[in-house]
Chains A and B, each alone.
Chain A
């Protein structure tokens, strides 16, 4: 199997995700970039699991998928709350507290 290619895909997805988190200003887009990072991790885990013939890689990936779903549910709820109170989800405008 072309293990290298899968790891490179994982690294590329992870870097795209990090860039998205740092560059995007829309909270939902930031959340999606974080999902991209988590999926990069899943690709890595599955590849390494195949490489070592270890089932724990796949188990770990399943756990990450489940937890990511829970995290997104909480995250979207928080973003919805902010949208209701301020009618905007731009993360740059969240600057009530400073110093």
Chain B
């Protein structure tokens, strides 16, 4: 290449407004690292405040973009800002803010590296925000790695703790293995389409008689992301990682990281693979049925609450996978169900983790038995936990029922025998789930408090704020489900 052609290179036009959220997050993340280098000890107590403020500031460009409302396509179609991606970005940022609230006291009292913790959290969130817009194999891969690599480190944040080390290495090895499988699938898709853009892949995949390479490529990519959303049989890392990692990190992985996996699946299934529903539908049917059933059955026999929430998260992931099994017959209802479920799930599950953190800060125990008689010791926490558990179990008027209702709606709207059969599986599993959520409620309300006990609980301000915010969201979405459904309706544009 001659110098003249190099000099003739012109930067493609960049829509700065469209990437303002990403830039804001990047700047905040870099600035807090820089601030720590300059002011060291003096600025460290401010770190969670700065990180939280940065996350809220990132919501401003997202709001202005939402008000503007036009779809923006950039970098030759590799990066798309539409209503759905804005909703998901906002969801990731709010989840990130709640995780910061959960982390404040845990990270400070544990004497961990405060600044690095929040920088890594922000960079992982940046990966999620990028993922919500990616419409290209390279962009999607980079976004996925940007969100995963900091998460591997966060899982091992208690450096001296053997369980935290173990959590980290298991998450790391499974995650890297999964992304290698996913990349092999991506290379096959690239070989078939001759392009990395999802639009070209969709066109190349169309046709009645796909090549074996195309099917293998689709399956490998879907399997790679099944690890991320901890779908059975690729869930084996999840319980150990969740139990061993610091609890705020567990909340982050169980909620934000899992939501990111589902967002990637949505983009792939609706933009890249809609013409191959004959491969996608049976794959997700089997995955969803297995994930729900295995997750629920294993959750029943857990004695540690974090581990139980991990398996319950696996089962909830199964519910969210179910609408993917009918994407061909009911595309709009399916995407609406998944997005609404994600929004509702984020608040319920983060709330449950906030209560777990508040109780563990006092009792230093993650055992379910340490919740006995919680109502007598701390009525507020017991009521809050009951609301979140009722939400996860799907008892009206708490929001979870509406999420499950939309899943059934999508499955039955498909009016196919497979869809109806899966609806039955979902119903059976929803009943099984009452078993373990109910056990904790009974423990809190019916059992007597243990002999040696603290008279009362003090809950830190940050945790209180997190619990109040999540409880408001959980109840509001349950009583006024149209608010959550409104975001689901926005997302159906992807299905057209």
Contact = CB atoms under 8 A, between A and B. Distances in A.
Mostly, the A contact residues are: helix
Interface in A16-62: 17, 21, 27, 30-31, 34, 37-38, 40-41, 44-45, 47-49, 51-52, 54, 56-57, 59-60
Interface stretch (B173-181, B281-289, B400-408, B439-447): B173-181
B239 interface: yes
What are the 8 A-B residue pairs with the smallest beta carbon separation, nearest first? A52-B194, A48-B191, A44-B187, A37-B180, A41-B183, A97-B240, A94-B166, A82-B165
Contact of A63 (B141, B172, B173): B141
B301 interface: yes
Q: How many of chain B's residues touch chain A, expressed as a range?
A: 35 or more
Contacts of B196: 56, 60
B271 to A, nearest CB: 17
Nearest to B76: A56
B137 interface: yes
Contacts of A67: 141-142, 145
B203 interface: no
Interface residues of A, number: 44
A51 B191 contact: yes
The interface centre, meaning the residue of A14, A52, A67, A86 with most chain B CB atoms within 10 A of its CB, is: A67
A31 B174 CA distance: 11
A79 to B, nearest CB: 7
A64 B307 CA distance: 34
Contacts of B149: 70-71, 74
B190 interface: yes
B191 A14 contact: no
A2 interface: no
Contacts of A74: 149, 152-153, 172
Contacts of B191: 7, 44, 47-48, 51-52
Interface string A64-99: 100100110011011101100110000100101101
Interface in B285-303: 298, 301-302
Question: Which of B156, B165, B168, B243 has the most A CB atoms < 10 Å from its CB?
Answer: B165
B194 A54 contact: yes
7 contacts: A37-B177, A37-B183, A67-B145, A78-B165, A81-B165, A85-B160, A99-B302
Contacts of B243: 97
Given A37-B180, A52-B194, A63-B138, A94 B170 contact: yes
B187 A30 contact: no
Given A34-B177, A86-B162, A91-B169, A56 B239 contact: no
